[in-house]
Structure 1
Amino acid sequence: MTPQRFRHFVAIDWSGAAGERHKGIAVALCDAGGEAPQLVRPDHVWSRTDVLDYLGWDLPPDSLVGMDLGIALPFADCSAFFPGWGDSPPTARALWAMVDRICEDDAHLGASSFVDHPVASRYFRRHGGREGDLFQQPGALHRRGRLRVTEGRQAALGCTPYSNFNLVGAAQVGKSSLTGMRLLHHLRGTVPVWPVEPLPTSGSAIVEIYTTIAAIAAGRRAGRSKMREAGELNAALAKLGSHPIDSVKPLDDHRCDALLTSAWLRKVSDRPELWRPGGLTDEIARTEGWTFGAV
């Protein structure tokens, strides 16, 4: 990776919540200079299909896009996404297709049909104390739920990753990940997703992000990574070499996450070690994927 490989840097705070439009979705953009990142369509309440359309049709050229979701489920710990299920897919791309196929009647890129599927549901922890009998696996490495290899690297950085099979609690990312897989499936052939797909030598690419990693790089503690006002956001942006934002529009933690992570992507995208992290094998790339910045 060489400096200025990308000309634009987009960070998307995603949502797996039910319904069409979500205040929890925020999209931020900055260019390769030091100017402050800006919210994309700041007065708009995004839907997941809006984001799909933006990525497919309106994405600036040569954009590095970070999406705050898990691009796959754990695989390496049990050599399968769904151990014991004959239909368990062999790769992340096949997993995306499976989730989208089962959820084809779910509106707004929802994923309720997948988590309620008579077999798939056995692997998830759902609301109402409904923990599937296969949520804990005999070969799994973590008693609190299966984690991917990259999530172990997240923990080493001071983050607190949750299993993508967990759908309960404010910090869960399982719903975001499953709805995001539907989006990634619909983008096939349009924008490659690293490392599931090779990083192209030109054009745009999507990576998985964990916004806490960006906050830590900007001098925030993992437990205080969330920001909700311009003063603390600008202090963090300064740590990343970015100009401050000058917008007086209301901010929330979703918008701050997107703005800060956009600037972080710009600062670190040319670091070769982030594209070749230790532990990322070809098999893991094809199945579990990786979180950009988790080294």
Structure 2
Amino acid sequence: MTPGFARFTAIDWSGAKGARHKGIAVALCEAGDAVPRLIAPLDRLWSRQAVADWLIHAAGKAPTLFGFDFSFAPPFVARGSYLPGDDVPQDGPGFWAYVDAICDDIDLGAASLLEVAHRRHFYFGKADGVKATFMHNRACEALYNAGGGGKPSTVYDAIGAAQVAKASFAGMRMLHHVRPHVPVWPFDPVPDAGSLVVEIYTSIAARAAGRPKGRSKMRDLAALNDALTALGSAPHEGVMPDDHGADAIVTAAWMRRAVAQAGHWSPGGMTAQIARSEGWTFGVT
């Protein structure tokens, strides 16, 4: 089964503190080959809440596949808990509600979960001990790594520019607010009609577009348009977007093509327990 969508949206996400974020970019394209276009926020920069509000509105206008580049849940299967030793829910949507309830950070932020509420589970530096003891991954991440995709970051690593921890937990708060309006795969089944939210990994799109491993970032218009051409998209015209915008544009074009690949919707390594607890990154098969 391959679902039909009229539009495809990729969102480059941010977990930064504050209310407006340079790291958020939203790109949208329709079916066909038109180049994805960046959606401008109502204000100068996107807030996380504004993205959630825009998504809910856009989902009702046309069947849209929305992709976010953060981990929809922490690892669960390998250790039997998201935060071993702490009393937390054991399914994705329940955990999102828990994260939202304990975080009062502005703009759906979740830094307080890492820094205060569950501090002992996260690596912030050498004072926390051996980093390797924090490096737990989900089943889909292990599969991606084993297939040569590269070693993904873990939500328990909260140090450095490449960390995905704050973005992921902030994203879980956003999912809690969006899910009553739009289903979230694979925690929810693919609907017969309407919109859907999935987890994406922009590096998968970049590799599919011909970018070399470890060089997913496109720094100039020629590189961006080479990637778009490889994905069957018309070229981007005008000013070269920043890294976040370029990632979103290429990933939206990839989503438009990847949606028709049945294997993306029924990955062999995804069990019912994994779908319920950890989720899965769309495109990892």
Does the TM-score normalized on the shorter chain lie above 0.5?
Answer: yes
Query: What amino acid is the match of 2:39?
Result: V
Structure 1 residue 223 corresponds to structure 2 residue 214:
yes
- Alpha-carbon distance in structure 2 between the residues aligned to 1:48 and 1:62: 22
TM-score, structure 2 length as denominator? 0.94
Match status 1:290 vs 2:284? no
Q: The residue matched to 2:219 in structure 1 has which SS?
A: coil
Alignment of structure 1 residues 139-150 onto 2, 5 Å: 143=133, 145-150=135-140
Q: In 2, distance between residues paired with 1:129 and 1:19?
A: 27
The Cα shift of 1:55 comes to 0.8
Partner of 2:26: 27
Q: Over residues 48-70 of structure 1, what are the superposed CA-to-partner deviations in whole Å (9 max), with x where a residue is unaligned? A: 11101111123441100110000
Q: Distance in 1 between matches of 2:256 and 2:44?
A: 24
Structure 2 match to 1:243: 234
1:116 is displaced (CA, Å) by 2.6
CA distance in 1, matches of 2:55, 2:66: 9
Deviation of 1:130 (Å): 4.8
Calculate percent identity across the aligned residue pairs.
Answer: 49
CA distance in 1, matches of 2:135, 2:149: 18
Question: 1:14-68, CA deviations, whole angstroms, 9 ceiling, x for partnerless residues?
Answer: 0001111111100000000111110011784111111011111234411001100
The TM-score normalised by the length of structure 1 is 0.91
For the residue of structure 2 that corresponds to 1:28, the secondary structure is: strand
Residue 124 of structure 1 aligns with an amino acid whose one-letter code is F
Which stretch shifts more, 32-41 or 107-116?
Answer: 107-116
Q: Write the distance in 2 (CA, Å) between the matches of 1:181 and 1:2.
A: 26
Matched residue SS, 2:214: helix
Map 1:1-295; keep pairs closer than 5 Å. Answer: 1-2=1-2, 5-41=4-40, 44-59=44-59, 60-85=61-86, 87-103=87-103, 105-118=104-117, 120-126=118-124, 129-131=126-128, 143=133, 145-155=135-145, 156-248=147-239, 250-295=240-285
Supply the distance in 2 between the matched residues of 1:12 and 1:47 (Cα, whole angstroms). Answer: 12
CA RMSD of aligned residues (A): 1.8
Return closer, same or farther for 1:62/1:197 CA change in 2, 3 Å cut-off. same
Aligned residue pairs total 282
1:93·1:185 contact (CA, 8 Å) conserved in 2? yes
Gaps of 5+ in 1: 137-141
How far did residue 196 of structure 1 move? 1.0
Q: Distance in 2 between matches of 1:152 and 1:117?
A: 29
Report SS of the residue matched to 1:55: helix
